[in-house]
């Protein structure tokens, strides 16, 4: 991937075309490689302001499964609607009732080059023991053994399609019937054991 133009939101240190390390301030424009752009985006240090650079950051064979129909488009990313499913090789499963930083879409999809699934943890103070019914928590404890763990935001998941993640999604869709989605996800996660990345809460609005 070639270089892209981005705008600094915070102070950013980056190597210029002359090979020298420079410091950029909020509002400055800089030209950086795609991998650096994804890292800075994930850290909230830059923003992408035009569709051309967004296209350059979007990986191939990816798309979004949106829960409900909405007036939403993201250049270079296919969109389908309905229940969670692995429609693409790299899929963002998004319940669009949840707001998040949409400029991070290409970052999340690109993380799937390394990880099988990436999901935010919105609050490290909310643990599995704090949510769901007593029966749901008991079922979860039988699988994961300790409820003193944070829960994932299951309304926003970046997933790479393979055997492990297919197993995870099938288990989750089965387990979530009649119970808390987040506890059902934990049970499915501990059984299927995909290579998961916990995204920080800054991904959510």
Q: What is the pLDDT of residue 42?
A: 83
pTM assigned to the model: 0.75
pLDDT at 203 over 70: yes
Average pLDDT over residues 12-34: 79
Which residues in 68-96 are b (16+ Cβ under 10 Å) and which e?
A: eeeeeebebbebeeeebebbbbbbbbbbb
pLDDT at 116 over 90: yes
Q: What percent of the chain has pLDDT over 70?
A: 93
Q: How confident is the model at residue 92 (pLDDT cuts 50, 70, 90)?
A: very high
Residue 41 makes CB contacts below 8 A (sequence gap 6+) with 6, 47, 48, 57, 103, 104, 106, 107
Average pLDDT over residues 4-13: 83
How far is residue 94 CA from its own chain's centroid? 9
Which residues in 33-50 are b (16+ Cβ under 10 Å) and which e?
A: ebebbbebbbeebbebee
- Which domains, ranges and CATH numbers included, belong to the chain? 1-57 (3.40.5), 62-205 (no CATH)
β-strands 21-24, 62-66: how paired?
unpaired
pLDDT tens for residues 44-55?
Answer: 888 776 544 555
Smallest Cα–Cα separation from 156: which of 79, 102, 201, 93? 93
- Give the length of the chain: 205
pLDDT at 100 over 60: yes
Q: What is the pLDDT of residue 52?
A: 47
């Amino acid at each position: 991937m070639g270089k892209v133009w981005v705008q600094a939101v915070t102070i950013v240190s980056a190597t210029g075309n002359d090979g020298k390390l420079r410091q950029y301030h909020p509002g400055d424009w800089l030209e950086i490689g795609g991998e650096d752009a994804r890292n800075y985006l994930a850290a909230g240090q830059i923003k992408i302001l035009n569709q051309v650079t967004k296209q350059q950051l979007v990986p191939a064979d990816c798309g979004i499964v949106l829960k409900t129909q909405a007036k939403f488009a993201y250049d270079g990313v296919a969109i389908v609607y309905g229940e969670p499913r692995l429609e693409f090789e790299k899929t963002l499963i998004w319940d669009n009732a949840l707001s998040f930083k949409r400029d991070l879409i290409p970052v999340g999809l690109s993380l799937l080059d390394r990880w099988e699934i990436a999901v935010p943890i919105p609050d490290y103070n909310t643990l599995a023991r704090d949510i769901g019914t007593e029966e749901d928590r008991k079922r979860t404890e039988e699988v994961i053994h300790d409820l003193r763990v944070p829960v994932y935001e299951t309304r926003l998941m970046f997933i790479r399609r393979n055997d492990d993640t297919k197993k995870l999604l099938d288990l989750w869709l089965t387990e979530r019937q009649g119970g808390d989605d987040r506890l059902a996800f934990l049970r499915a996660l501990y059984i299927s054991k995909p290579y998961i990345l916990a995204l920080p809460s800054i991904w959510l609005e």
